[in-house]
Structure 1
Amino acid sequence: MIVKKNISLKSILEFTGYHLLWLAGWMSFVTIGCHILNWELLEFSWLPLPLIGTAVVFYIGFKNNQSYDRLWEARKLWSEITNSSRVLATMVRHYRSGEMSEIQEDEIRRQIVFRHIAYIYQLRDQLLQPAVWENLSQKSYWGTGYYNRRHRDKLHKSFAKELEEIAKKKYLPAEESVNLQHYKNKAVQLLNMQTEMIQQLYDGKAINMIQQIELQSAVKNFYDGQGKMERIKQSPFPREYSSFSFIFICIFILLLPFGLISEFSRLGKAGIWLTIPVGIVIGWIFVAMEMISDYCENPFEGLRSDTPMLSICREIEINMLQTIGEKNIPAPITPKNHVLI
């Protein structure tokens, strides 16, 4: 997530700059070709281009709205996870049955909090696994897959210290960590273990039935939240919307220089050279709009415009550890180059 108010020119060029190259090449090719081969042979009316452009803009606008909805829903779900985590830590620490406990309840309560911290980091790791339709998985699609993988690796290197700290922390018992590797969905299994531990508190008379129900309800909220995130992750944005918007923009840009030449030719033969800069600017605007929607539709890729899951998980970790009175509290994640991941 970019946390700077204004995006720098360098960031804009890093995001869309390489598209300027092929746009410049296409506009130059058509303009030079028309100039050498007699541009009048390829001239056609400017009128169809505004009609096509208007239709494409409406289409991309709809796609941008829907893509942003996916991004914003992902952020809201993580906010719900954050709030539910705080509630869970408070209930685990303070809920008492008023009877003599038959078990070492303090250790079990501590394990529940620690396991939940392990759970949120595990959930983040699972959501970061690239799906086949995401930008990171593309192999030969204008080189975007290679570019995005390299960019994500660069982002992760910026947060290498924080990621190393997380990897070193052992919030789960060694035996439990080993057993966890046998499960496909490890995050779900961690929630299953939480339910088992809450049942142990009830069986040991550390909490009463009403308190058990409320704790189990908190765990259910995490199941619900995870399921909604997995729905976003595992359900691609309809391919028709993504594919046809790209095709429509390609058609528009393909025709753009011919229409511009017909207009600028009224200024004289020298005027057709304005086709190159004007065509680049117009084409870049349409390509940038398409790219914004394309990257917003996948909020769990780990790129700079995605949901900052690492910083959210660290915030949850800090809140829960402080709630149960732990002394060794990690520092919050701070932006690196105005980006949070």
Structure 2
Amino acid sequence: MRHIAWMSSLRHALRTPKSWEAEPRKKTGIDYRKHLEIREQKYSLEEELKGYLSEEEKDYVLSKKNKQAACLNLQSKHLSALKTEGYVWEFAHLEIEKMFVELFTLQGKVERIKNFPYPRQFATLNKFFVWIFVILLPFGMMNEFDKIGIIIVESMEQYKPYPNSGFHYLIELMGHYFIWFTVPISVIISWVFNTMERVGEASENPFEGEGNDVPITTMSRDIEIDIRQMIGDHENNIPKPEPEKFNTQL
């Protein structure tokens, strides 16, 4: 059960809001999160650790700053005690310790993603450059669209006088006002680049609990179910999978 306690401590740490995480403070993020129920914000870590650790172990974990590391430390100490008592032989002890080292390594990687944001100057300059591009784009396209319009009008000269149908008149009229196509085309291109910039900004922090973030709560629950089934826990003690909310896994 300590492994489940470690996962619970880790996901609570990853869900902790940081000052540089902008998405939850945006209007779209606030409105979206009103419909979701993020488990780590509804329940405290102390509540989540009940049943996974003894009271003494829980007090020890909660007293530490890095609670997830404290859980792994408990696991390592318990393994050493089992080896001393002869329940675990030397080779098995070394192999399990390697697993703990791997867990520490993986924990450190996700903590660095969480606690060390992408260089702020890159994100800021990227946004500025996108908006400069968006503002200047129409001015760069106007001349080209005007040239296309002139070509259309000149190409229609060979068909004059036009037949009674309005098709030729429509093409010529389109040529005269073709420069106005700059507006919708510029809007579409600007939307594409702005969306890419927003996606990049949102992807910098994948543990906030947004719709496109890593579903660490669901993953943790699935692993807990697997562990309980493997150790033969009673079916009534095995929790249900984390439900989807508005087609979103948290």
TM-score (norm 1): 0.57
What code does the residue aligned with 2:71 have? L
> Alpha-carbon deviations, 1:242-301, whole Å to 9, x = none?
222211111111123334444555544x55554443332221111111111211222222
Equivalent position of 2:242 in the other structure: 333
Show the 5 A alignment for 1:1-341.
114-136=1-23, 144=26, 146-156=27-37, 167=48, 169-263=50-144, 266=149, 267-268=175-176, 273-327=180-234, 328-341=237-250
What code does the residue aligned with 2:189 have? I
Counterpart Cα distance in 2 of 1:238 and 1:115: 35
Counterpart Cα distance in 2 of 1:168 and 1:214: 27
Counterpart Cα distance in 1 of 2:43 and 2:58: 18
Structure showing greater relative contact order (alpha-carbon pairs closer than 8 Å, 6 or more residues apart): 1
Q: Confirm or deny: 8 A CA contact 1:195 1:219 kept in the other structure.
A: yes
Counterpart Cα distance in 1 of 2:225 and 2:186: 51
Give me the identity figure in percent. Answer: 34
- Residues 289 and 216 of structure 1, relative CA distance in 2, 3 Å threshold: same
Residue 225 of structure 1, CA deviation: 0.8
Stretches of structure 2 that go unaligned for 5 or more consecutive residues are 150-174
CA RMSD, 1 decimal: 2.7
> Alpha-carbon deviations, 1:26-62, whole Å to 9, x = none?
xxxxxxxxxxxxxxxxxxxxxxxxxxxxxxxxxxxxx
Counterpart Cα distance in 2 of 1:208 and 1:223: 23
Tell me the SS of whatever aligns to 1:307.
coil
> Alpha-carbon deviations, 1:287-333, whole Å to 9, x = none?
11111121122222221111110111011101111111101211222
Residue 234 of structure 1, CA deviation: 2.2
Residue 163 of structure 1, CA deviation: 6.8
What code does the residue aligned with 2:132 have? I
Q: Confirm or deny: 8 A CA contact 1:131 1:137 kept in the other structure.
A: no
Residue 215 of structure 1, CA deviation: 2.0
Q: Flag the structure with larger Rg.
A: 2
Q: Confirm or deny: 8 A CA contact 1:130 1:136 kept in the other structure.
A: no
What code does the residue aligned with 1:232 have? I
